[in-house]
Amino acid sequence: MPNNIYNAQAAVDYAHEWAFKRNNLYTNFDSMGGDCTNFISQCLFAGSKIMNYTPDTGWFYISLKNRSAAWAGVKFLYNFLVGNTGRGPYGSEVELSAVVPGDVIQLSFDGSSFSHSLLVVETKGLYKAPQTVFIATHTQDSDNRSLSSYMYKKYRCIHIEGVRT
């Protein structure tokens, strides 16, 4: 399966364009538990241009009733990205020091389950810490927001390594 380069800048550009509004091509999940992971999937799709239509374990969106759990579910997106050996974007869990724009961060507010997804849009300085990593997300719509501004117990970082066609 050929490997394509993930266009992180396209993902970041999409995040900046849509951080405070909704793209009518996708359902708004705000009233269904939150729109954050749906938005992050849109960003990842902007950077990858390839969906994985595998039933049950894929990552795709056709409509509200025809989509994968990974498209809008925090844990399912994580499982897809770090376990994907098929089509679409794939990544690995990394330390905060390794994140770059276009990567994904997920937050746990209770210390046990992860429930919020963010897209890294900028990092500042040589040393990466929560105050030097900036994100975009939906639900509590944000762009260029410092990771340190969140009240979380844990975070996990997913570096997007590439895209398989």
Q: Could you tell me the pLDDT band of residue 4, with boundaries at 50, 70 and 90?
A: confident
Block residue for tokens 């951080």: 19
Query: What CA–CA distances, in Å, run from 1 to 55, 88, 104, 158?
Result: 19, 11, 24, 22
Domain that holds residue 106: 3-164
Give the CATH number of the domain where residue 7 resides. 3.90.1720
At 43 the pLDDT is: 98
Parallel, antiparallel or unpaired: strands 154-164 and 66-67? unpaired
The predicted-structure confidence for 131-141, as pLDDT tens digits, reads as follows: 999 999 999 99
User: pLDDT tens for residues 91-101?
Assistant: 999 999 999 99
CA distance 81 to 88: 9
- Give tens-digit pLDDT for 20-76: 999 999 999 999 999 999 999 999 999 999 999 999 999 999 999 999 999 999 999
Helix, strand, coil shares of the chain as percentages rounded to 5?
A: 30, 30, 40
**The pLDDT value given to residue 20:** 98
Give the count of domains, the chain: 1
Q: What pLDDT digit, counting tens, does each position of 119-161 carry?
A: 999 999 888 999 999 999 999 999 999 999 999 999 999 999 9
pLDDT band at residue 3 using 50, 70 and 90 as cut-offs: low
Task: Give CA–CA dist 165/144, Å, rounded.
Answer: 31
Question: Cα-flanking dihedrals φ and ψ of residue 162, to 5°?
Answer: 175, -170
